[in-house]
Amino acid sequence: MTGPGPSAGWRVLACPHCGAPLSGDPDGPAGVAGRRPRVLGCPLGHRFDVARQGYVALLGPRSRTDTGDSADMVAARVEFLGAGHYAPISVAVADAAGASRSGAATSAAGTGEPVLLEIGAGTGHYLSAALDRIPGAAGVGLDSSRYAARRAATDPRTCSVLADAWSRLPLVDQAADVVLSVFAPRDLAEVARVLRPGGSLVAVTPRPGHLVELRERVGLLSIDPDKADALEQRARRAGLRPTERTEVRSRLRLTRAAVAALVRMGPAARHLDPADLARRVAALDEPVEATLDVSVSVLVADR
């Protein structure tokens, strides 16, 4: 016996080749607990198998995945975020997503099941926090790392998709009620396309003081001091109106192991020699104090 149809997250996907809507299980029964299909297909005959780990690869002919996180980067992300060090960011993102949905009677999918999309979702950590805040919501997590997509798929509320954020996103127009982007690149024109009218982008950008104590000591990359302002300027050109910006600050007290995980999970890991990182981290005195300092911007699609 088949269960109910796939969740709204799976019903808003689009073919990366032709852009047509995808439907679940054109050749077979409903998937896991009725929430996850086994196969996706479009009217033109393109088919995409859902991997046994729970994610689906929706890659077009020009899609790139070589910039995605490695297995070690994903493991470090699980370790660091799982310890709660960035909990203030998770809370702020979930609060902003919940506020964006307050008072909305229907969803982008045309039902009472809101759709939350995260671009550059990684392990799905922040998406899961937002889904916790909005009962009945469905999630779509896009990432260019197979290792991250596998991890994000462990949340049954999330449709985990391997995709290139700089290609056309594999979603239908007006697919999402809320789009999340946490420390991740995003194509704002594509964000505007996939947001429903009145939907919101919740974007997290680092401020100049973020992890400033560690930048030189462990080789973290520098931060553009005008990152949030630049985001809002580009967003306006894409048809997204800035409505709110919140600054989130807290003090971190980290072990050397946590510092190592913090570096390994981010872009600096691509530029640092592991032996050099180990030497730098070993020279730190515990607890290692650092500043968490980010902006959470909310931008609304007015069309």
Predicted pLDDT at 221: 84
42 is in an annotated binding site: yes
Q: How many CA atoms lie within 13 A of 221 on its CB side?
A: 13
Predicted pLDDT at 64: 73
pLDDT tens per residue across all 303 residues of the chain? 333 445 689 999 999 999 999 998 644 443 444 467 899 999 999 999 999 999 999 998 777 767 789 999 999 999 999 999 999 999 999 999 999 876 554 555 555 689 999 999 999 999 999 999 999 999 999 999 999 999 999 999 999 999 998 889 999 999 999 999 999 989 999 999 999 999 999 999 999 999 999 998 998 888 988 999 999 999 999 999 999 999 999 999 999 999 999 999 998 888 889 999 999 999 999 999 999 999 999 999 987
17 is in an annotated binding site: no
**Domains annotated on the chain, with CATH:** 52-301 (3.40.50.150)
The position carrying tokens 């077009």 is 60
Predicted pLDDT at 30: 38
Which is it for strands 195-206 and 176-182: parallel, antiparallel or unpaired? parallel
CB atoms near residue 214 (< 10 Å): 23
46 is in an annotated binding site: yes
Name 26's Cβ contacts closer than 8 Å, sequence gap at least 6: 39, 40, 41, 47
Longest dimension (CA), the chain: 60
Among residues 50, 27, 52, the alpha carbon closest in space to that of 37 is found at 50
Predicted pLDDT at 112: 64
15 is in an annotated binding site: no
